[in-house]
Structure formats: structure tokens, C-alpha cells
Amino acid sequence: MASPQKFLTILSILALGFVAAASLAGPLPDPDALETDSPQRALALYLAAWRAEDWPALASLCQLSWRARQEAPEVFLRERLAERRLLAAEITGATQGCGGIFPSFHCATVRVTLSYQTPDGRVRTSLIHARLFREDAPGQLGERGSWGVNPLSALP
């Protein structure tokens, strides 16, 4: 059996490791500081759910038509993002429209710089161009619908 001193030493090292990992976390966009019905706010909520590893909330913020095509959207998101611990994100710009493919009021591209930690402890930075779609129902673009993130466009 390990001595109490050895046990306390190991516990202290583990605690320092958790504190160090937590100290890497930086700011995320504040959803409350963004326009209520905007693609930027929808993406900020998505990023907050990712950092919290709240897979049901993350799935609920995804594009309706994408969710309808997925058998288990929460599982898909967890498998792709759980090993990428989101540390910080900054929205660096946004444009209405998605390259002329969809009407501009139904689609937006939001540029975000992400910092995340990989399982081996390395910190990576990535620029993504997240596509968000406004849908009334799955596959039905509409001005009264909610903004949803296309998660494939938001993968680092």
C-alpha cells in the first residue's frame, strides 16, 4: 500500500495537471452580446455547447436538415469533437450567403478562429468557415426559421 505522503504527492500532481489544462481555456464569443436572431449568436451557442461537451445541446443547434438525415446526431458529434477540447474561439467575420448557392437571407458563412487541445496535449489553432442555414423545417429554407450550424463545415 502506498504511503500517505506518496498518495498526497500523486494527488497534487494530478490536481496541478487539471489546473494547467483548465488555464489553457480562453474566451468564447458571448451569445448575449450578439444580435438575438443572428447566425453569429447561433454559432456562439454551438461553440459553448461544444466546450461544455453537451452533445444533446450541440445537436439541437445543428441544421435541421442535417439532423433529420442523422440516425444519432449526438453520437456523430461526440465521436468527431470529444477528442478536440475547445479552448477558445473568436468570430473574425461573417457574410450573408454561401457563395451564391443559396439565397443570402437563408444562409450565412461565419469565420471563426478556434484553439483546441488534442488528446496528446498539443494545442492546435484552426480557421473554419462555418455555414449556417435558416430553415423552417428540414430541407425548407425560410426567413422565419431558426439558424442551424452545418456541423461538417464547423469541424477543425
The string of DSSP letters for 4-43 reads HHHHHHHHHHHHHHHHHHHHT------GGGS-TTSHHHHH
Q: With bands split at pLDDT 50, 70 and 90, how would you rate the model's confidence at 16?
A: very low
Q: With bands split at pLDDT 50, 70 and 90, how would you rate the model's confidence at 21?
A: very low
Per the model's pLDDT, the better-predicted residue between 9 and 85 turns out to be 85
The domain segmentation of the chain, as residue ranges, is 28-154
Q: For the chain, give the longest Cα–Cα distance.
A: 68
Q: How many CB atoms lie within 10 A of CB 24?
A: 14
Rounded to 5°, the CA angle 52-56-57 comes to 60
Measured distance CA(103)–CA(154) in Å, rounded: 20
> Looking at residue 66, what is its pLDDT?
96
> Looking at residue 102, what is its pLDDT?
61
Q: Model pTM?
A: 0.81
Output the CATH code of domain 28-154: 3.10.450.50
> Looking at residue 3, what is its pLDDT?
54
| H-state helical runs in the chain | 4-23, 39-51, 55-60, 64-69, 73-81
> Looking at residue 38, what is its pLDDT?
94
